[in-house]
């Protein structure tokens, strides 16, 4: 069972690493990078929302903190974005703990609303914070191709491999933690907090751990994004839309599953980019309609998401195979 999960992961990784060899067009490479980025972002969301059951619609806060931290460190103090990513992630994790401390006493939709308000507060603060660029944002000047400075202009491939590394690390982390006491306790907190408490689970502690892990990886992704697009402002990294976008792949793919975020991202991101590219001005909003419809569809018809759908198909396939074998014999 364990080997099956890991070997599947390895196979997917090999595929993912090989893909850019066949895709040379920068437009499609961009789609690839964004897909992997949102896989990672949503996987981070999944840790807190899917496994631990604490639905956060304020992840943009951590995304933005990561982005701003590494950007400011790089543009003003010359700190390598590679270090900036780590620091951004750590800072985001600290903020996650600080935010979680008052908010985790709330349950269900009360908690969701709290995450929205907190993130909006962050957005508003950065919008008016002159030192951090306020509404104008911060531009990252190109200093030359460099791994240490994490800047590349001639090819998008280094960015691609960078985000794949981040996503792969996160995937391994999720795989490991889902099988550990942490993962089990998270699922217990999600399933029934009262029962969990009566079985010795210190709920608050585990929620905080989930928040820290989720925020950390989200922050790292934010730093990556800043280096990739070379320009950040509150509207692009801290806005509510970003928080929504981060949660959607997992909702579509399967909340609380290992592959859900990836499946959902693979469906949503290319679809949205292509729709936007081909429908452009007159079709503005179409991608939102499709997003929304998919989410409504999943939530009403198959809450387990695409992963659940695939599991059902597998079960049906196995049953059919067994029947055929039985009849054959």
Return the DSSP state at 151.
B
Among 24, 76, 145, 283, binds another protein (CB under 8 A): 283
44 binds another protein (CB under 8 A): no
Angle, helices 181-191 vs 203-229, to 10°: value is 100
Question: Least CB distance from residue 60 to another protein, whole Å?
Answer: 13
Handedness of CA 81, 50, 292, 118 (dihedral sign): negative
CA distance 306 to 53: 18
Question: Least CB distance from residue 300 to another protein, whole Å?
Answer: 4
3-state SS class at 286: helix
Q: Which is nearer to another protein, 179 or 319 (CB)?
A: 179
Measured in whole angstroms, the distance separating CA 99 from the mean position of its chain's CA atoms is 19
Q: Which is nearer to another protein, 169 or 296 (CB)?
A: 296
280 binds another protein (CB under 8 A): no
Among 76, 202, 318, 322, binds another protein (CB under 8 A): 202
**Both tokens assigned to 133:** 């660029």
Among residue numbers 207 through 266, which ones bind another protein (CB under 8 A)?
Answer: 240, 244, 251, 255-256
Q: Which stretch binds another protein (CB under 8 A): 13-21, 27-35, 207-215, 293-301?
A: 293-301
b/e sequence 40-66, b meaning 16+ C-beta within 10 Å? bbbbbbbbbbbbbbbbbbbbbbbbbbb
**Which candidate, 95, 100, 121, places its Cα nearest to that of 49?**
100
Question: Least CB distance from residue 296 to another protein, whole Å?
Answer: 4
For the chain, how long is the longest CA-to-CA vector?
Answer: 77
**Do 184 and 15 form a contact (C-beta atoms < 8 A)?**
no
CA distance 158 to 160: 5
Q: Which is nearer to another protein, 6 or 23 (CB)?
A: 6
23 binds another protein (CB under 8 A): no
Q: Which is nearer to another protein, 12 or 311 (CB)?
A: 311
Q: Which is nearer to another protein, 163 or 307 (CB)?
A: 307
**Do 85 and 224 form a contact (C-beta atoms < 8 A)?**
yes
Tell me which residue has tokens 């590394």: 165
Q: Which is nearer to another protein, 105 or 315 (CB)?
A: 105
173 binds another protein (CB under 8 A): no
113 binds another protein (CB under 8 A): yes
296 binds another protein (CB under 8 A): yes
Q: Which stretch binds another protein (CB under 8 A): 24-32, 123-131, 147-155, 221-229?
A: 123-131
**Which candidate, 41, 52, 45, 25, places its Cα nearest to that of 224?**
41
289 binds another protein (CB under 8 A): yes
**Do 264 and 306 form a contact (C-beta atoms < 8 A)?**
yes
Measured in whole angstroms, the distance separating CA 84 from the mean position of its chain's CA atoms is 19
Q: Which is nearer to another protein, 32 or 60 (CB)?
A: 60
Q: Which is nearer to another protein, 85 or 177 (CB)?
A: 177
CA distance 194 to 113: 22
196 binds another protein (CB under 8 A): yes
- Contacts with another protein, residue ranges (CB under 8 A): 53, 55, 102-103, 105-106, 108-110, 112-114, 116-117, 120-121, 124-125, 127-128, 179-181, 184-185, 187-188, 190-192, 194-203, 240, 244, 251, 255-256, 283-301, 303
């Amino acid at each position: 069972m364990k080997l099956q999960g890991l070997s599947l992961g390895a196979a997917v990784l090999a595929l993912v690493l090989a893909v850019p060899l066949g895709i040379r067009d920068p437009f499609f490479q961009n789609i690839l990078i964004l897909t992997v980025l949102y896989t990672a972002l949503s996987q981070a969301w999944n840790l807190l929302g899917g496994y631990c059951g604490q639905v956060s619609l304020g992840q943009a806060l951590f995304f933005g903190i990561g982005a701003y931290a590494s950007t400011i460190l790089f543009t003003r103090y010359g700190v390598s974005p590679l270090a900036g990513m780590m620091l951004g992630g750590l800072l985001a994790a600290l903020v996650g703990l600080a935010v979680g401390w008052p908010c985790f006493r709330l349950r269900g939709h009360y908690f969701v609303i709290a995450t929205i308000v907190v993130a909006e507060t962050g957005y508003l603060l950065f919008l008016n914070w002159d030192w951090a660029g306020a509404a104008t944002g911060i531009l990252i000047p190109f200093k030359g191709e460099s791994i240490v400075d994490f800047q590349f202009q001639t090819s998008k491939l280094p960015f691609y491999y960078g985000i794949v590394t981040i996503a792969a690390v996160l995937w391994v982390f999720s795989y490991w933690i889902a099988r550990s006491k942490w993962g089990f306790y998270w699922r217990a907190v999600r399933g029934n907090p009262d029962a969990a408490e009566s079985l010795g689970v210190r709920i608050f502690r585990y929620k905080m751990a989930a928040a820290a892990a989720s925020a950390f990886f989200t922050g790292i992704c934010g730093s990556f994004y800043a280096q990739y697009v070379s320009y950040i402002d509150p509207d692009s990294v801290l806005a509510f839309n970003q928080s929504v976008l981060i949660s959607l792949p997992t909702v579509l793919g399967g909340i609380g599953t290992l592959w859900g975020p990836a499946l959902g991202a693979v469906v949503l991101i290319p679809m949205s980019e292509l729709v936007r590219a081909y429908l452009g001005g007159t079709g503005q909003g179409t991608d939102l309609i499709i997003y929304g419809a998919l989410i409504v569809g999943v939530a009403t018809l198959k809450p387990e998401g695409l992963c659940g759908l695939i599991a059902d198909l597998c079960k049906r396939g196995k049953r059919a195979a067994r029947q055929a074998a039985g009849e054959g014999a």
